[in-house]
Structure 1
Amino acid sequence: MAKSNNFGDFINKKVLPPIMKFVNTKPITALKDGMVYALPFIIIGSIFLILSNIPIPAVASALKASGWSAFFSQAYTTSFGFISIWAAVGIAYVYVRNEGYEALPAGLTSLSSFLLLQFLQVDNPLVGAMGKSGTGITDVAGNVVYSGAKLSQQIDKLPHVVQTYLTSPVTGVINNTWLGGQGMIAAIIIGILVGWSYSAMMRAGWKITLPEQVPANVANQFTAMIPAGVILTVSMLIYAFFKGVMSTDLLQLIYKLLQAPLQGLSDSLGGALIIAFLVPFFWFFGVHGGLIMGAITSGLLIPNTFDNANLYQHNQLSLANGAHIVTNEFYNNFINLTGSGITIGLVIFTLYAAKSVQLKSIGKIEFIPALFNINEPFLFGLPLVMNPFLAIPFFLTPVIVALTTYLVIYFGIVPPLNGVAAPWTTPPIISGFLIGGWKMAIWQAIVLVMSTGIYFPFAKKYDNYLLAQEQEKAAKGK
């Protein structure tokens, strides 16, 4: 026990303080709280994604033929599909709000900078439509009415200058690619930098002050003018440098150098196991592991979710087409299923096998919250925090679930998660069906059984210990 206490002291005094210092820095706080503003659009967009891809062939075909599938897709694109916009605005907004200044102008400045730093163009649709592997020209229902090969033959007959014109990028438009998951890391960086620089300029007094007679709503906009002007001017110069010198833009560079490698790392088996271990690890020492890991991983796992949603929308959801295994729903609906540590097995033990009054009582309190993936009554009431009896299953269960879930997706036993963002409070099995269909719902049920099997022997030992204490106390009372 002394060694355990020494280890606990080491973690609390040497390991956790720098981690907590990092998590509570202004940028990470802005990231964590700013991303919350995206959640309604992610969830609403997921509903439209389901409606545009109803997993019933007859209904899906009818919706596609009627054009309603396209309407639902439009709603999905302008909600979930704009995830990077919500991130850029929300992060800068929270950063400046926390500094005590009017925050909305900073959020809008971040949005303007985010758009300014990217090419306002998209590839010509003809480029992807032409050739043997091209999509061809489709009608409203998605049926090919003119093949890619036939289209290429017709384009080849035109004068070269006309061919070049027809296949040149379409300019003067916003590229939806960067508004979605691919622009997430860039949006986070821009949001943080805009929030930081905007606040710094406000503190330094870089603002236009108007007479008191001017209405406050008008005066506030003039206050924001200098910081916004400086930020947008710098953004323009950065854009000009990358376009003129490197023939690219900042968002493409960030995606290639940072986001793609980091997404690959987060989507690996090692990444899944590390995340699964660290959530209960932090909780064991009384620190909110879910919040810490959520803040660190959301910038990578949400883009993974978005990529899967995009594949699902186009009926191309498979690992061969680049689908991710580890997404934000993998984190919410498997690693944290029924709460950090996947404690449903412990709940079942307390309800059906516990003999001590303490476990029976806390089990009745925890049952309903556990159905909605909340287990704070166990974490602090049982407690699981700093409890050596239950440390092994608390750490081990999420790791085993992460490992097995990764493998059943990797080997094609269940399909990849479809990108639907079920709220983290969605009950097990229901959430499985929403995020991956009936096979994923069955797998979630198996996970619940796994949790029960892992926790039972350790819970029984802890229950016997508590029962002996209660009996000893009762004997002394007599």
Structure 2
Amino acid sequence: MQKFMDWMERYIVPVASKIGAQRHLVAIRDGFATIMPLMIVGSFGLLIHNFPIDSVKAMFGEGGALHWLDVIALNVYAGSMFLMGLFAAISIGYALGKSYDVDGFSTGLVTMASSLILTNMMAYKAPVTWGGFDLGTVGWEPGIFAKWLGSAGLVTILITTLITGTLFAKIVKSGKLNITLPDGVPPAVARSFSALLPTAVVLVLVGIVFAICEAFGYADVYLHVYNGIAKPLMVFSNSLPVLLFIILLQQVLWFFGLHGSNILAPVINGIFLALTAENMAAIAAGNTEGINIINSQFLDSYVNLGGSGLTAALVIVMMFKSKSQVNKQIRNVAGGPAFFNINEPLIFGLPIVLNPIYIIPFIAAPLVSACIAYAASVAGFVAPASAVVPWTCPPIISAWLATGQWQGAAVALVNILVGVLIYLPFVMYADKKNLELEVAEA
């Protein structure tokens, strides 16, 4: 064990630390964290539309007493979660700009405009009517295929945002194209003029890229990126082996004191969150086919119960089996936060970090729980998670809200009970050692 820990600390931990501090990955993580309230509110709008109780859901339909509430809920969903790609372009661009010490808002606007340029807006010709007369199709009318502003276009938007945001920030930082105004000019006006030429350079370059794509028959950039990169990547990620690898990597990073959830957030948000968004879009359209079992909410509902490592089970075992004073004190401090999936007091206070006693259950419990939940979903016992629930939502309740079924809560409860069995012998052994030390010191 010591040789393995030494090897990890020498070769893996430094690489993971660099990845966790890489500005583009940090921008993706922070950008998604910024728009998370929009996605959560949009998810609750969809939950109302797809209410788990049939008698109440019928009241939301056409002619129902609560149909007006369904209209509100669906429009809230459409105006928030359905446009997550567009919001991500702004928020990630903002975070990337701030990391380069340039104006974040200007960077976010440039990355959003760049993403819109590639949507081929001018390809749509609109029919024109006036006074009841059909005037035919007159010129170009800007139009956007809204699907590309949601999860389907997320990969294209992420690539575009990272490239154009970096380019814009570096041009601004160089100062070669900045227009400097006198000191008496209001700051907002000075910033806008300073960003004028860098903005023009970036947007023109994006326009040139689109023109080249169109010349070679790839005018619908989003469609080709989706079919060539995004969809195969999502299909590959929507598998149990990939999920288990992500969980294993997350737990190993935590064990060495690195925030595994934050380091892997770009992957989880960029791919697994898109799978959740696909589920939501399918549910909103009344379609139950092609629903993704594995997605970001699958992790929060069935795996990260009490926090990474299924530590809700660890707290329960400590509540009933701890006899040493140190374990009792840690249990009392960590019990409350664990109810809301905050487990840093346990990870760093128990500690779990670099503790060879806890590495086995800390890794095994979430892996086993993922397999149980996956099997229950494949068997049709529970529907796949199709709503984004706040990660601080208490375990069991989170699974019920994410699936809209009591079966989701039941699977989460089973996972916690199995986690208790996995943690039990290790907690008892560690508690016994602590008790012997306390007796010896006394």
Contact 2:19 2:263 in 1 (8 A): no
d(CA) in 1 for partners of 2:394 and 2:236? 29
Do structure 1's residue 46 and structure 2's residue 43 form an aligned pair? yes
Do structure 1's residue 21 and structure 2's residue 18 form an aligned pair? yes
What's the offset of the Cα at 1:122? 9.6
Do structure 1's residue 370 and structure 2's residue 367 form an aligned pair? no
Contact 2:237 2:271 in 1 (8 A): yes
What's the offset of the Cα at 1:399? 0.6
d(CA) in 2 for partners of 1:207 and 1:435? 48
Do structure 1's residue 388 and structure 2's residue 356 form an aligned pair? yes
Contact 2:110 2:165 in 1 (8 A): no
From 226, 249, 252, give the equivalent of 1:281: 252
Q: C-alpha offsets along residues 16-46 of structure 1, whole Å, 9 cap, x if unaligned?
A: 1122212211211111111122101101111
Contact 1:279 1:290 in 2 (8 A): yes
d(CA) in 1 for partners of 2:141 and 2:374? 41
Do structure 1's residue 180 and structure 2's residue 177 form an aligned pair? no
d(CA) in 2 for partners of 1:335 and 1:123? 45
Q: Where do residues 30-179 of structure 1 align in structure 2 (5 Å cutoff)?
A: 30-66=27-63, 67-68=67-68, 69-120=70-121, 172-179=142-149
Contact 2:97 2:103 in 1 (8 A): yes
Do structure 1's residue 432 and structure 2's residue 399 form an aligned pair? yes
What's the offset of the Cα at 1:203? 1.8
Contact 2:218 2:224 in 1 (8 A): no
Contact 1:84 1:181 in 2 (8 A): yes
d(CA) in 2 for partners of 1:362 and 1:344? 14
Match of 1:325 in 2: 293
d(CA) in 1 for partners of 2:123 and 2:397? 39
Contact 1:83 1:181 in 2 (8 A): yes
Contact 2:85 2:157 in 1 (8 A): yes
Match of 1:226 in 2: 197
d(CA) in 2 for partners of 1:34 and 1:376? 23
What's the offset of the Cα at 1:408? 1.2
SS state at 2:264 partner: helix
Residues 24 and 222 from structure 1, CA distance in 2 versus in 1: closer, same or farther, beyond 3 angstroms?
A: same
d(CA) in 2 for partners of 1:471 and 1:192? 58
d(CA) in 2 for partners of 1:20 and 1:251? 33
SS state at 1:65 partner: coil
What's the offset of the Cα at 1:171? 6.1
d(CA) in 2 for partners of 1:180 and 1:121? 19
d(CA) in 2 for partners of 1:38 and 1:70? 23
Which residue identity lines up with residue 383 of structure 2 in the other structure?
A: P
Give aligned pairs, total: 425
What's the offset of the Cα at 1:185? 1.1
What's the offset of the Cα at 1:186? 1.3
Contact 1:37 1:86 in 2 (8 A): no
SS state at 1:87 partner: helix
Q: Where do residues 406-421 of structure 1 align in structure 2 (5 Å cutoff)?
A: 406-418=374-386, 420-421=387-388
d(CA) in 2 for partners of 1:182 and 1:364? 45
Match of 1:267 in 2: 238
Gaps of at least 5 residues in structure 1 are: 125-164
What's the offset of the Cα at 1:283? 0.7
Which residue identity lines up with residue 8 of structure 2 in the other structure?
A: I
What's the offset of the Cα at 1:411? 1.9
Do structure 1's residue 6 and structure 2's residue 7 form an aligned pair? no
Higher alpha-carbon Rg = 1
What's the offset of the Cα at 1:121? 7.6
Match of 1:241 in 2: 212
d(CA) in 2 for partners of 1:217 and 1:79? 28
From 402, 405, 410, give the equivalent of 1:442: 410
